[in-house]
A and B are shown apart, each in its own frame.
Chain A
């Protein structure tokens, strides 16, 4: 479904992502892990067209979306969350969901229906997402007034509001306690039941090992291993990347 072909991004002399190739299959939960600065978030940004690639290609459902503007990437069916929470603080909770709604049905309404349709259209979908995120009582609150955990849940609900085929989760468990991580794992598994394909970028090992089907490991922008969670756990190259060599 998503295919990266020899993808590279250099910032000056730094090779943030270096000749990365990987394939995420339809309906799969794919984990992308690696130490700090190994290029995970850069990869997500390249897929979303936040900044241009140095070389290589991004293919989504067989179509080349390399360096497409972000709003086209979203229209193609890819939505994401952010490592550092990015909400529209001056909009209310449900407005944050409302503006992100981008399903095919939504786009078929035409310009007037979609943009000038007033604040009632499309709320049904938003209510459902609020329930999914456990935010139904906070619907009218400004997003900036939410607690940290609520903001994270709103971000995920907002990504889902676009009705994506592929969901990119960029460190969704950052700053969460064990209880919240286990709730997050439940939510991610629930999404799989709806047939959503997920690329999960994460630091928190128990989450990655618990929910993913396959994992790729990055180090210094390069893929050093790929396999099932069990294979990755026993991979010597991965252990070296995370823990250093025995004699170091």
Chain B
């Protein structure tokens, strides 16, 4: 079957895809967030606490972590509602650094089966032992990741076909005009940022349980920047765009030996070139439209 290296790469791609989808949703409503790693971190800790310290079942812990991350998204969105563009981007960056630094001093330890477990400041949060205790193989965990990713992707793709999806694109393209079509722009943005927090949270919870330990320095700004760049590379026309970005970066650049050492140079260059020639990524709205039309034509049989 799959070798360990490949399972590791695919698991990593799956988990990072949640951050990419999260940053993508915020991009669709016209804002740039450098802070989606904060929601990943919040959920990693919250779900770890639930499963390792409170003895919750795994799926409950994941949902709990995601819900807390979504709530954090809501709390971030309400005060940042009135600022836009560059200022929103800076606010998200500041928020994420705040969360990371708070985790550096966050200590909450309880005794479980005679051992102290729980977050220990900058030492991190060790012994999130769920996958050992339940004896889950890396391959089985990969299936869990892919299943949750499929559900998330399916939900986003469905929303994109509804009027709500069209409204989100309207808000991103021209908020003044959207308001003049009767859209409550602020509410749309708050709901989107909260949903984006929840989605990043699913990834964070999976990350904590697969790696069995997390520490604050993992959730630095580069994680958020990558998540953001995946949508910008892969395209903002469809939720498949950010996944394409993840596949290109982690699947090709990081995981094959050919680019070793040059990964960040190639990746940075790719972002720079695409921002000039295709500012909304490879699968931008126009590309998605052409693909959809091509597929429909084949269905119609002419």
A residues near B, CB below 8 A?
48, 50, 69-71, 73-75, 79-80, 82, 86, 88-92, 95, 98-100, 102, 114-119, 121, 140, 142, 158, 162
Closest to A69 in B: B179
Q: What is the total of A-B residue contacts with beta carbons within 8 Å?
A: 76
Closest to B164 in A: A115
Which of B69-77, B141-149, B155-163, B206-214 lies on the face that meets chain A? B155-163
Closest to B179 in A: A70
* CB of B290, distance to nearest CB on chain A (Å): 10
* CB of A19, distance to nearest CB on chain B (Å): 26
Closest to B184 in A: A71
Please determine whether A102 and B182 come into contact, CB atoms closer than 8 angstroms. yes
Please determine whether A115 and B163 come into contact, CB atoms closer than 8 angstroms. yes
Given A88-B173, A119-B161, A142-B286, A98 and B166 touching (CB < 8 A)?
Answer: yes
Cβ of B252 within 8 Å of any chain A Cβ, yes or no, is: no
Report chain A residues within 8 Å CB of B163.
Answer: 98-99, 114-117, 119, 121
Given A74-B181, A100-B182, A102-B182, A90 and B164 touching (CB < 8 A)?
Answer: no
Taking A70-B176, A98-B163, A100-B181 as given, write out 13 further A-B residue pairs in contact, using a Cβ cutoff of 8 Å, ordered by the A residue number: A74-B180, A75-B182, A79-B180, A86-B177, A88-B170, A88-B177, A89-B173, A90-B286, A91-B166, A98-B166, A117-B162, A119-B162, A158-B181
Please determine whether A90 and B182 come into contact, CB atoms closer than 8 angstroms. no
Please determine whether A70 and B180 come into contact, CB atoms closer than 8 angstroms. yes
Cβ of B29 within 8 Å of any chain A Cβ, yes or no, is: no
The one of A50, A79, A92 that contacts B176, using a Cβ cutoff of 8 Å = A50
Q: List 9 A-B contacts (CB under 8 A).
A: A74-B182, A99-B183, A115-B162, A115-B163, A116-B163, A119-B163, A121-B163, A158-B181, A162-B182
